[in-house]
Amino acid sequence: MLAVLVPLLVLSAAIPTAAEWGHIRAEWGLAFGSARVVSAVVISSGPSLEFSRDCGAWTQINVAWAAPGGAHSGHFSVCNSDASRFAVGRVIQVMVIPGDASVIQGESQALAIAGVVIESVVGAFFLLVLGLVARWALVVCRARARSRTAPWLPGEVRDSYRLSRARGKPVQVLFDPGSAPWPAPRDPPDPECYAELMVNPRKDRMALERGDRVWLAPTGRSLVRRRRTQPYAIVRTSDRALFWAGGKPLPGGW
């Protein structure tokens, strides 16, 4: 799932950014004052690949202007309903960035600053999500290796009644008395030490049931100390079926 999720996240951001890179660069230039105003002539128009709910289809307006290094050309998009205002041969004012074919027309610096702020917030949120996914991928990739050296604790599965919308089945694993390598809590909800886990669904749809005897091993350590979770491996003793689960770290740093 992670191998599919990470490329999808990257592509979902990379494709729109690549398609609008010229406009984004021009907008940032306008926001920070590096864009300049030139008088350009409309030379042609055609269908645009952009689309929005407000306008539906868009029209690309192609313009050209004179510059010290020679003539330059660029383009911008407008709603189809506004395309008639940009007839071929009309002279208009546009904002340009040296060396960029994308131009801005009809947008103030204040609007460009607002757009830069929104793009920055969206970009920061995307990087945060990608960082969290990458962090969890690192923990999961280490899980199988740690399962060879982690302590396997015998126990029994019990139903958990905590409410959760996460994908999986919440269970309790009650450890056999004396098997846990940490002292029992003074006032435990159950006579034995237990672990609250969210068991991931298997492809064959097998599930742990109440009363199943299992062996459980903490197979990963979180990279964050507060409010952290880690993966667990669970092997059912009756058929040796392997289940993966997530939950809070066990006492004693296991």
Q: Which residues face 196 on adjacent strands?
A: 172
Residue 239: name the closest of 209, 219, 197 by CA.
Answer: 209
Q: How far apart are CA 5 and CA 3, in angstroms?
A: 6
| Residue 101, both tokens | 């074919």
Give the model's pLDDT for residue 223: 45
| Residue 247, both tokens | 């939950």
| Residue 129, both tokens | 């999500």
Q: Residue holding tokens 């049931």? A: 209
Phi, psi (deg, nearest 5) at residue 84: -65, -20
Give the model's pLDDT for residue 254: 58
Q: Which residues face 93 on adjacent strands?
A: 39
Residues 96/26, Cβ–Cβ less than 8 Å: yes
Q: CB count, 10 Å around CB of 96? A: 23
Sheet containing strand 36-52, strands side by side: 70-79, 56-67, 36-52, 91-96
Give the model's pLDDT for residue 31: 74
Q: Where are the domains of the chain?
A: 2-113, 147-253
Residue by residue, pLDDT tens for the chain (254 residues) are 667 777 887 887 787 777 667 667 777 777 776 677 788 899 998 887 766 666 767 888 888 888 765 667 888 888 888 888 889 999 988 877 766 556 777 666 677 788 788 888 988 898 888 888 887 777 777 777 777 777 888 999 988 876 565 677 888 888 887 777 766 656 555 555 678 888 888 888 888 999 999 999 888 765 445 446 778 889 999 999 989 888 887 766 55
Residue 197: name the closest of 162, 226, 222 by CA.
Answer: 162
Q: CB count, 10 Å around CB of 48? A: 19
Residue 54: name the closest of 76, 81, 34, 32 by CA.
Answer: 81
pTM of the model: 0.51
Distances, alpha carbon 248 to alpha carbons 48, 195, 232, 253, in Å: 51, 8, 10, 11
Q: Residue holding tokens 């003793």? A: 237
CA 4 to chain centre: 12
What is the assigned CATH class of domain 2-113?
Answer: mainly beta
